[in-house]
């Protein structure tokens, strides 16, 4: 997910370009202002934590872009490309390390496991919104 700060800072193309250049295949994409109820469901694991209200307020504060990416070890690859949560601590070359200075406004969200990805994809997409197609260069990105 590209969070409202990524959209507001006009970083969408740069971030999506990095994921494409890595060799991942974009199979789902939509833009929306996440409704409060969906944000609460998405971040349910954090309910009761001190940062939860601010997290929900931030993710619902403006447009965000939800995406589904496929590829070799896609979950691990995207998380590594995002970098650690706080942009000050994130490594140079990561999305957060190159574009972020905050832990709160951290530009992107990525599922932490395949199981979480399946749950989150189901929250934002129905099957008709996900596309299966061949990429002519995929042979360069597989083992």
Would you call 109 a catalytic residue per the annotation? yes
Q: Is residue 91 part of a domain?
A: yes
* Residue-number span of the structural domain to which 85 is assigned: 4-134
> pLDDT tens per residue, the chain (143 residues)?
999 999 999 999 999 999 999 999 999 999 999 999 999 999 999 999 999 999 999 999 999 999 999 999 999 999 999 999 999 999 999 999 999 999 999 999 999 999 999 999 999 999 999 999 998 998 898 77
| 102 contacts 109 by C-beta, under 8 angstroms | no
CA 92 to each of CA 14, 50, 89, 98: distance values in angstroms, whole numbers, following the listed order: 15, 29, 9, 6
CATH number for 106: 3.30.70.141
Q: Is residue 139 part of a domain?
A: no
Say what the pLDDT of residue 131 is.
Answer: 97
Contacts of 96-99 with C-beta under 8 Å, sequence gap 24+, read: 99/6, 99/9, 99/11, 99/14, 99/15
Strand partners, 69: 26
Q: Is residue 124 part of a domain?
A: yes
Catalytic residue among 42, 46, 109, 139: 109
Alpha helices in 1-143 (DSSP H): 4-8, 12-22, 36-42, 52-59, 74-82, 95-99, 114-124
Q: Is residue 66 part of a domain?
A: yes
Verdict on whether the full-model pTM lies above 0.85: yes
Q: Is residue 141 part of a domain?
A: no
Say what the pLDDT of residue 54 is.
Answer: 95
> Who contacts 22 (Cβ-Cβ below 8 Å, separation ≥6)?
71, 77, 81
Q: Is residue 142 part of a domain?
A: no
The two three-digit tokens of residue 26, written as one number: 């974009």
Structural domains counted in the chain: 1
DSSP H or E segment with residue 66: strand 64-70
Q: Is residue 90 part of a domain?
A: yes
């Amino acid at each position: 997910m590209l969070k409202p700060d990524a959209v507001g800072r006009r970083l969408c193309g740069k971030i999506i370009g990095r994921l494409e250049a890595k060799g991942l295949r974009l199979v789902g994409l939509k833009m929306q202002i996440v409704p409060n109820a969906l944000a609460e469901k998405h971040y349910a694991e954090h309910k009761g934590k001190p940062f939860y209200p601010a997290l929900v307020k931030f993710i619902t504060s403006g447009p965000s872009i939800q995406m589904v990416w496929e590829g070799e070890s896609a979950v691990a690859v995207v998380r590594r490309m995002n970098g650690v949560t706080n942009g000050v601590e994130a490594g140079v070359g990561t999305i957060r390390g190159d574009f972020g200075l905050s832990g709160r406004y951290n530009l992107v969200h990525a599922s932490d496991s395949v199981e979480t990805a399946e749950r989150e994809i189901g929250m934002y997409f129905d099957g008709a919104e996900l596309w299966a197609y061949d990429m002519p260069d995929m042979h360069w990105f597989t083992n």
